[in-house]
Structure 1
Amino acid sequence: METAMEYGSIERELHIDASPEVVFEVLSSPEHIREWWSAETTAFEPAAGATARLTWTDQDTGREQSAPFTVVEADPPRTFSFRWTYDETETEAAGPGNSLLVTFELVPAGTGTTVRFRESGFRERGWEAAVLEAHYDDHRQGWDFYLPRLVATADRLAAAR
C-alpha cells in the first residue's frame, strides 16, 4: 500500500569533517555559496534581517534564475537560517505563508560537525496540490544535489587550513 507524501518539509542530516566555524563560514559567505550552491549572490552580512539575491545561470542556455532571500537567524557557529522563494513585490516581509524557511543547525561531532538541514513552509504557501508537489520535488532534488557539494566544500576548506 502506497502512502501519500506529506510535502511538509525536507530534512537531511549530514556529517562534515570540519569544525562548526568552518561550516558556518561555508553556509553564510557569498564566496562559498557560489562554490557549493552554484549561485552568485549579492554581498550580505550573516545577520538577522540581512537580505540578498541568489542567481543561478544555466551554463547551456545562459538563462538566469534569481531568488531573493532574507537571513532569519545567524548564530555562529550554531545556526544559520533564511527565508526564500518569496514575491518581492509584496509589501509584507518574508515570513510564514509567503516563503520557505531553510535552517542549518550545526552540532559539534568529534572533530567534525553534524548538520541538521530542514526546509519547511511548502504547505503554508497555499499552493494547489500539483503546484505544491512540483515545488517540493524540485527542491528535494535540488538539495539532494547541492548538500553533498556543501560537505565537499567545507571538507576542502578545513583541509586547506
Structure 2
Amino acid sequence: MTENEPSVVDRDEFTVRRTITIAAPLEKVWAAITEVEHIARWFPQAAVLDGVAVGAGGVFTFEGYGDVPVQIEELDPPRMIAYRWGSDSSRDLRVDLDRSTVFRFTLEPVATGTQLTVVESGFDALTDPATSMENNRGGWDSELDELVAYLEGGS
C-alpha cells in the first residue's frame, strides 16, 4: 500500500488538509469519491446521494455518529468535488449552511497513479473549532488510508 503523509491542521485558516498518492487511475479514484456504492466501501458505513450535481443532497451514516447530512457544493468532473456536511448541524438531516464545513477533493494524475488532496474548511463556524479540526484531522488520516487500501487492494 502507498505510504502517505498525515493530515495537517492550519489553525489560522481553520482548515484540515491532506494530500495522498493512490496507485490507481484518476477515473477509478473519481468513482470512489462520487459514487455511493464506492463511497460506502471506504468512508461512511452507508451513503445516499440524490445525484452527482451541485445542490444534490444526501446522508452519510457513520458508526458511532449516526446520520450526517451532505450536499454537493462544487463539481468539476473528474477533477474536483466539494461536499458540505453537517459536522455541527442539527440532526434533522439537512445541512445547516451556517454550522457546517466543506471538504473539497481535488484529483491530479501523476506518474504513479492519482494525487488526491482534501481540504476541509469552515471550522470557524463551529462551536469548538480546535477540537473539530483535530477530530477531523484524525478522521481524514484514517478514512483516506482506507481509500488507498480499497483502491490499491483491487476491491
Return the TM-score normalized by structure 1: 0.78
Does structure 1 residue 49 correspond to structure 2 residue 55? yes
- Where 1:45 maps in the other structure, the secondary structure is coil
Unpaired segments ≥5 residues, structure 1: 59-63
- Where 1:107 maps in the other structure, the secondary structure is strand
- Where 1:42 maps in the other structure, the secondary structure is strand
Runs of 4+ in 1 over 3 A off after TM superposition: 4-7, 86-91
In structure 2, the CA distance between the partners of 1:5 and 1:43, relative to structure 1 (3 Å rule), is closer
Alignment counterpart, residue 132 of structure 1, candidates 126, 129, 134:
129
- Where 2:115 maps in the other structure, the secondary structure is strand
- Where 2:51 maps in the other structure, the secondary structure is coil
More helix as a share of residues: 1
Deviates further, 5-14 or 46-55: 5-14
Supply the distance in 2 between the matched residues of 1:94 and 1:74 (Cα, whole angstroms).
20
In structure 2, the CA distance between the partners of 1:37 and 1:147, relative to structure 1 (3 Å rule), is same
Supply the distance in 2 between the matched residues of 1:126 and 1:43 (Cα, whole angstroms).
24
Does structure 1 residue 22 correspond to structure 2 residue 28? yes
Asked whether the 8 Å contact 1:32–1:153 carries over to 2, the reply is no
Supply the distance in 1 between the matched residues of 2:153 and 2:53 (Cα, whole angstroms).
25
Q: Give the drift of 1:102.
A: 0.4
Supply the distance in 1 between the matched residues of 2:150 and 2:50 (Cα, whole angstroms).
20
Supply the distance in 2 between the matched residues of 1:5 and 1:78 (Cα, whole angstroms).
27
| RMSD of Structure 2 on Structure 1 (CA) | 2.5
Return the TM-score normalized by structure 2: 0.81
Aligned-residue sequence identity (percent) comes to: 28
